[in-house]
Structure 1
Amino acid sequence: MANVGALDRILRVALGAALVAAPFLLAGTFAPLGAWRFVVVASGVVLLGTAAFRFCPAYALLGIRTCPVAKA
């Protein structure tokens, strides 16, 4: 069941893409960070995944929904 709404999804795609691209575009800046660049990329991948599937496990645990409830 989806719990990520349209605006939330757009923000997740934008931030996720930026986080995935940042270590590659700012290679000199992220070089001293070492392993942190992998954390940045992994965070971006998680955001892109939750946007693609419209489901956020953290939202499910906290009972948060940013999408409207479908009426049957």
Structure 2
Amino acid sequence: MKANVGGIDRILRITLGSALIVWAAALGGPAWAWIGIVPLLTGVTKFCPIYPIFGIRTCSSDKS
């Protein structure tokens, strides 16, 4: 798995994912807010499985 998420994209994913999880868990948000796990994991792992399908890459480095 090569990294394909980088920089601002990664920060936004981690921030949005964390916010959704906190909303769902601590603030009694709707059940769909647990979808925040997906952007959080893709931000932490620096890999989005959808990006290769569309040929997108926001990471400039070739490191995994």
* TM-score normalized with structure 2 length: 0.81
| Corresponding residue for residue 22 of structure 2 | 21
- AA in 2 matched with 1:21: V
Structure 1 unaligned spans of 5+:
31-36
User: Partners of 1:69 and 1:62 in 2: how far apart?
Assistant: 19
* TM-score normalized with structure 1 length: 0.74
4+ residue segments displaced more than 3 Å: none
More helix by share: 1
2:31 to 32, 38, 41: 38
> 1:1-72, aligned counterparts within 5 Å?
1-23=2-24, 24-25=26-27, 27=28, 30=29, 37-41=30-34, 43-70=35-62
- 1:38 Cα deviation from its structure 2 partner: 2.6
Larger radius of gyration: 1
The CA RMSD measured in Å over matched residues stands at 1.7
- Identity percentage over the alignment? 45
